[in-house]
Amino acid sequence: MTKQRIMRLGIWGVLFLIVSVLSYKAALVIWLITLLLTVVFLLTFSQALNADMAELVLSIRKKLPFASDSAVYPAAVTAESVRSDSEHDQEQRSRELAKQEVQAKLEQLIGQDEALEQINDLVLQLEMSTQSDDVPLGVHSPGILIVLSGPSGTGKSQIAGLLPKLFYGFGGLSSPKSIELDRVRIGGNDTAARLSQELEDFGRGSVIIDKFDFLLESSAYSDEKPLKDAGEVLAAYAKQHLHQTLNILVGSQAAAEHLHHDEEQQGWLRDFHSVFINTRALNASELSKITSQMLAAKGWQLDNGVQALLERKMGQEIGRGRSEFDHGFEAIRVSNQITTAAATRRSTTNQKFLSKDDIEGVLQS
């Protein structure tokens, strides 16, 4: 039913009313019949109307002296349902985009196969739980606590930032919104009170506490460690927003082990479905192998002894305490630098061959 046809029918209706008014005796009867036919027409063909016209039909229905519910007119579509369908489609698109973003960024976590495997297991649990509204992930606990631990520079903070989007993408959370807290924002003598205020101001969403090791430190005024009080605040927050929040602690492996084994922390931990994910530093052999694979994937041929040279050079850097060499992102950086420098030196040829001199030049810079 097009708008032009609706307009034509409306014009005929107006003309019919004019003619009926000219007929003195039959005017009232014909006018009532015309009004009734017009209302029935609108109700019957409202499915073909857009959202604006449907809203007009809805307002007419509310003014009718008789019922006009969906049981009588099952094909009718209200403005609310049109908007609801549109919002649902937008929500699905938003979740799909979040899912694609997370998957693309997780692929950059070089050398963290064990951590990625745990995340994949978490995704499988999440998919199974979202198939039924009655069985959310962590159904026997008010919320989910994920503890990310490992050496500095191994991707913990990146994973923490992706997890709320991951849960949102797979339908585990109603929003990807998150707040990141650290020593600066909630540290000090009144950690629990400051944390509680931050969460109250934030509203509902996921909570990330970065470098939570500071929660295990005693203050200058007390031997009490703030972790227990902060944990109880998180547990209360999870109960307030049942199955609608994700709590993430990011810290060292020592802090994670303390949290896991400390009897004092078990009270509030029982309120969570807890998942411990550990990232690890890569050794020189692993880094050199990954770098060589990246170079080969870009079409570069490696001279004999290049991988051994990479391993020796990276081992020397790790030995000097350069922590940025401890994770897979360094392999990406080094491979990009090598290929850029080599391509510049060979700008006049198409040869893609890497010698030891190419590697020496980059790693010494």
| Range in 164-178, 241-255, 321-335 the model is least confident about | 321-335
Q: What is the Cα–Cα distance from 109 to 105, expressed in whole angstroms?
A: 7
Cα–Cα nearest to 148, from 160, 165, 164, 135: 160
Residue 276, pLDDT score: 95
Residue 59, pLDDT score: 59
Residue 73, pLDDT score: 42
> Among 11-20, 27-36, 182-191, which range has the highest average pLDDT?
182-191
Question: Tokens in use for 96?
Answer: 């799909």
Q: State pLDDT tens for residues 125-170.
A: 877 766 655 555 555 577 899 999 998 888 899 999 999 999 999 8
Residue 296, pLDDT score: 84
Contact 199, 207 (CB under 8 A): yes
Q: State pLDDT tens for residues 36-68.
A: 667 656 655 554 444 455 555 455 555 544 444
Contact 208, 237 (CB under 8 A): no
Cα–Cα nearest to 159, from 329, 27, 359: 329
The number of CA neighbours under 13 Å toward the Cβ of 139 is 10
User: pLDDT grade, residue 25 (50/70/90)?
Assistant: low
> Among 163-177, 194-208, 304-318, which range has the highest average pLDDT?
194-208
Q: How many helices (H) and strands (E) does the chain have?
A: 15, 7
Q: What is the Cα–Cα distance from 235 to 254, expressed in whole angstroms?
A: 22
Could you give the percent of the chain with pLDDT greater than 70?
68
Q: What is the Cα–Cα distance from 53 to 216, expressed in whole angstroms?
A: 62
Cα–Cα nearest to 179, from 207, 209, 146: 207
Indicate whether 193 pLDDT > 90.
yes
Residue ranges of domains in the chain, CATH in brackets = 3-77 (no CATH), 92-278 (3.40.50.300), 284-363 (1.10.8)
Q: In terms of pLDDT, which residue wins out, 37 or 293?
A: 293
Report the Cα 200 to chain-centroid distance in Å: 21
User: pLDDT grade, residue 71 (50/70/90)?
Assistant: very low
H or E segment and range at residue 276: strand 272-278
Residue 88, pLDDT score: 75
Torsional sign, CA 23, 27, 31, 33: negative
Residue 199, pLDDT score: 95
From start to end of 150-219, where are the E strands? 178-181, 206-209
Could you give the percent of the chain with pLDDT greater than 90?
27
Residue 279, pLDDT score: 92
Q: State pLDDT tens for residues 201-258.
A: 999 999 999 999 999 987 655 667 899 999 999 999 999 988 788 999 999 999 999 9
